[in-house]
Amino acid sequence: MDGQRTRRRIPEATVARLPVYLRILSEQFDDGVTNMSSEQLADFAGLNAAKVRKDLSYLGSYGTRGVGYEVEYLVYQIRRELGLTHDWPVVIVGAGNLGQALAGYGGFGDRGFPVGGIVDVDESKVGSLVGGVRVRHLDEVAQVVQSRGISIGVIATPGAAAQEVADALVAAGVTSLLNFAPTVINVPHGISVRKVDLAVELQILSYYEQRRASAKAATLHAVPGAR
Amino acid sequence: MDGQRTRRRIPEATVARLPVYLRILSEQFDDGVTNMSSEQLADFAGLNAAKVRKDLSYLGSYGTRGVGYEVEYLVYQIRRELGLTHDWPVVIVGAGNLGQALAGYGGFGDRGFPVGGIVDVDESKVGSLVGGVRVRHLDEVAQVVQSRGISIGVIATPGAAAQEVADALVAAGVTSLLNFAPTVINVPHGISVRKVDLAVELQILSYYEQRRASAKAATLHAVPGAR
DNA sequence: CCGGCTTTGTGAAAACATGCACGAGCGCCC
DNA sequence: GGGCGCTCGTGCATGTTTTCACAAAGCCGG
C-alpha cells in the first residue's frame, strides 16, 4: 500500500557518506568494474568494511553474499535514495569572487545541480554574465526561484549579508541552503542548511598541528621509554 | 611541573565548534560587548546552552557563575587552544580556478593563514602571479614548504591528481591537509586531513529535499488527522 | 551580611555512531 | 549435488556526543 515512502530514516552520518560511495562506484563503473565487495569499497573510501555494509543496508539488501555488490545497480539505488534521479537547479546569491568561481566551476551543472540563476545586490554586477548566466538583482530572487522551480540556494556573500539573504531565499520558497558565508544563519524549522567555512577548517587543522607540536615538545623532556 | 601541556584531550565535535565560538565572540567584542552568557552565545551559534558550557569547560573554568564569560578573555583562551597565537602559512597546490579563487580570497591571510606558496604542474602557469604570489612548479614544493616552515597544504587540483599531490606534500613535510578535490586521499598515520566537497554537500541537501518531497506526497494521500 | 536571583560546571542518562563477530546465503568446484 | 570458501546482513558491545538537571558559586539589593 505504501510503496517505498515508509523507508526507514537513514542516519545523518550515513547520508553524508553515501555521496562518497556514489562517486567511487561511478568511477569504478566507468573503469569497467561491474562488481565490488564492501571491503574494496571501504578501501577506496578510507573506512572499514563493516561500516560500509551497515550504511548500504539502510538502502535495502542489495548485495549478494559471497560475491559483493553489483556496481551499476548500487549506483542506481544510491542515486535514487539521494534524490539524484532528476536535476536540482540552484540559485547563487552573490556574484563576487566566490560566486563567480562557483558559477564557473564545472562541478555544479555536471553533477545534477545546474546554476538556475545568480543574483546580487550590487547594481554594477546586475546584467553581467557570470558562467553563462545573467546576474539579476536580489530583489528578483523570488521570481527567479519560482520560475525555475528552484529549491536550493547557495549563499556566497560576505558574512554580514548572509542572514538577510537567507531570509530572502526562504521567503522566496527555497528549502535548502548551502552557506559559504562565515556566519551561522538562523532558519525556520524544516529548512536544511549546510555550511562550508574555510576559516573553520583551517582552524581545526591548526588545533591538531598545535597539539602535535606540544606533544613533541613534551616528548623531548619525557623519560625515555616511558611512553 | 608540566604547565598546560597535559591538557585533557578535547573531543573532535567540540574542536569543530570552537572556531564558531571564536568568530562570534570576536565580532561581539568588536561591537563593544564585554560579557556573554552561555545562552547568548548558544543563540548566536544556533546551539543549546548546555552544549556551549560543556564545550567551554574543556578549556578550563573561565566563566563566572551568575555572570557569564568575559568575552576578551575567552577569545584569548580559545585562540590559544586552537594554536592561533601565531600564523600558519599554507601552500596551495593547483593554480586553476579554485586555487586562484582561494589565493585571491582574503579569508586566508586575514585569519592567520597567509599563502606561503602556490605550486602547479602546468608549466604555463608556473611563473605567473596569483594573489600576489608567484606560482612555482610542484617539483619544488619541498623547497617551498621547508623554506617557509609550512605545515598545512591545500589541495585544489582535479580529483585524479589529488592522491599524488597529497603524497608529495606529505613527503615535503606537511602534516595537515585541506582537500578540495572530490577524492578520498590516503595519508600516513599522524597526518590530519579535512575535506571540503561541494558535490557532497549538495547531494546531502538533495537527500533531505527528496525526502521532504516524498513526505509531502505521502501526506496528500494520508487519512486526514491521522498524524 | 543575608537571601534571592542568575548562571556556571558537571555528573548521569539518553541518543547516536562505530566496530566486532558470526550466522546465513550464495557461487563454484570437484 | 554436496562441501567449501567467500561475503553479506545484523545483533551486540563499545565508544562518543548530546541533553538533562542540579548543586555550587558569584552578584546585588536591602
The 10s digit of each residue's pLDDT in A25-76 is 999 999 999 999 999 999 999 999 999 999 999 999 999 999 999 999 999 9
Residues 6+ apart with CB under 8 A from A101: B97, B98, B100, B101
The band of A214, judged by pLDDT with boundaries at 50, 70 and 90, is confident
pLDDT of residue B168: 98
Q: Which residues, given as ranges, of chain B have pLDDT below 70? A: 1-7, 107, 220-227
Q: Does CATH place domain B12-82 in 1.10.10.10? A: yes
Q: Kind and range of the H or E element at B171? A: helix B159-172
> Where exactly does CATH 3.40.50.720 map onto chain A?
90-196
Look at A82 and B210 and tell me if their CB atoms are within 8 Å.
yes
Nearest-neighbour CA in chain A from B205: distance (Å): 6
> Where exactly does CATH 1.10.10.10 map onto chain A?
12-81
pLDDT of residue A227: 34
Indicate if the pLDDT at residue A4 is higher than 70: no
Whether chain A has a CB inside 8 Å of the CB on B135: the answer is: no
Region label for A93, one of left (φ > 0), alpha (ψ between -120 and 50) or beta (otherwise): beta
The band of A220, judged by pLDDT with boundaries at 50, 70 and 90, is low
Closest by CA to A14, choosing from A68, A41, A54, is A54
User: Residue B82 to residues A163, A204, B142: CA-CA distances in angstroms?
Assistant: 27, 7, 26
Q: Per-residue pLDDT averaged across A16-22, rounded?
A: 98
Q: Per-residue pLDDT averaged across A118-141, rounded?
A: 97
Look at B202 and A15 and tell me if their CB atoms are within 8 Å.
no
Pick the CATH number of B90-190 from 3.20.20.150, 3.40.50.10240, 3.40.50.720, 3.40.50.1220: 3.40.50.720
- To which residue does cell 571564536 refer? B22
Whether chain A has a CB inside 8 Å of the CB on B173: the answer is: no
DSSP-H helix ranges across chain A = 12-30, 38-45, 49-57, 71-81, 97-104, 107-110, 141-148, 159-172, 198-221
Q: Per-residue pLDDT averaged across A119-138, rounded?
A: 96
Indicate if the pLDDT at residue A190 is higher than 60: yes
Q: Give, in Å, how far the C1' of D17 lies from the CA of A68.
A: 33
Considering CB atoms only, which of B151, B190, B205 is closest to A194?
A: B205
What does the alpha-carbon distance between residue B15 and residue A225 come to, in Å, rounded to a whole number?
A: 30
Instruction: Report domain A90-196's class.
Output: alpha beta
Whether chain A has a CB inside 8 Å of the CB on B101: the answer is: yes
Whether chain A has a CB inside 8 Å of the CB on B194: the answer is: yes
Find, in chain B, the residue whose alpha carbon is nearest to that of A215: B5
Pick the CATH number of A12-81 from 1.10.10.60, 3.40.50.2300, 3.50.50.60, 1.10.10.10: 1.10.10.10
Chain B partners within 8 Å of A199 (Cβ): 19, 23, 107, 111, 113
pLDDT of residue A221: 65
Chain B partners within 8 Å of A216 (Cβ): none
Where b means 16+ CB within 10 Å and e means fewer, B143-172 reads ebbeeeebbbbbbbbebebbbebbebbbeb
pLDDT of residue A216: 72
Sheet holding A63-64, edge to edge: A35-36, A68-70, A63-64
Closest by CA to A53, choosing from A32, A34, A74, is A74
Whether chain B has a CB inside 8 Å of the CB on A201: the answer is: yes
